[in-house]
Amino acid sequence: MKLDKTEMKILIELQKDGRLSRRMLADRIDVSTPTVSSKIEKLENMGIIEGFRVEIDHRKLGFQKYFFKIESEGKTEEEIREVFAGSERLRQIEKLEGSGFLLTLFINDFSQLDKATEYLEKEDGIKIKEVWRTQDEESKIPNIPLDENVPLDITCYYCNKPIKGEPEKWKKDGKEHYFCCSSCADLYEEKYEKIKEKWSGE
């Protein structure tokens, strides 16, 4: 079971612009507005479209991407994250070889850069090795590009394998679940009932 051409086109257009109205979408891909609406509903039910969010280009707000290469003996990723006390500026921590970490921060003024440096410096067991910044394209978080000519398989909700042929459908709590075979559907239902029991028993 694959997404059809219309569904692919809807996803491609929405990736380009999530604010397109259903009517504008219909115009662009040359189908009727009700078709677009029902396709979007289906894609939402399947969890393929998770919501329409506004994408922010941080560069336009003056943010730049900074990298901090640090050395830290015995600190975990979690502990390093705590240094920034949940600040949104810290975007990513990557473990490097040995005791190294690479931190990615989005910073839009020098006082914030000083602060980040200060936080790291006064923390025992952390040494800043290198700091550099980039203004390149990747500071915008990219979407994965879709190609309408490369078919996307819908995967089984239980075993995650691509569904060949007609799916087994199961509707629960307003969500439609698709399975590759009836035994996956049964196994999932069993699991679902068990979880439900557990929660209602508490």
* Minimum distance from residue 179 beta carbon to Zn ion (Å): 5
Task: Enumerate residues 39-68 that contact Zn ion by CB under 5 A.
Answer: none
Contact stretch for Zn ion (CB under 5 A) within 15-23, 30-38, 118-126, 181-189: 181-189
* Minimum distance from residue 182 beta carbon to Zn ion (Å): 10
Is 180 among the residues that bind Zn ion (CB under 5 A)? yes
CB within 8 Å of 131: residues ≥ 6 apart: 66, 67, 68, 69, 117
Task: Enumerate residues 143-162 that contact Zn ion by CB under 5 A.
Answer: 156, 158-159
Nearer to Zn ion, 80 or 180 (CB): 180
* Minimum distance from residue 194 beta carbon to Zn ion (Å): 18
Contact stretch for Zn ion (CB under 5 A) within 3-11, 65-73, 105-113, 182-190: 182-190
* Minimum distance from residue 11 beta carbon to Zn ion (Å): 23
* Minimum distance from residue 124 beta carbon to Zn ion (Å): 50
Nearer to Zn ion, 63 or 170 (CB): 170
Structure tokens at 194: 């068990």
Q: Which residues bind Zn ion (CB under 5 A)?
A: 156, 158-159, 180, 184
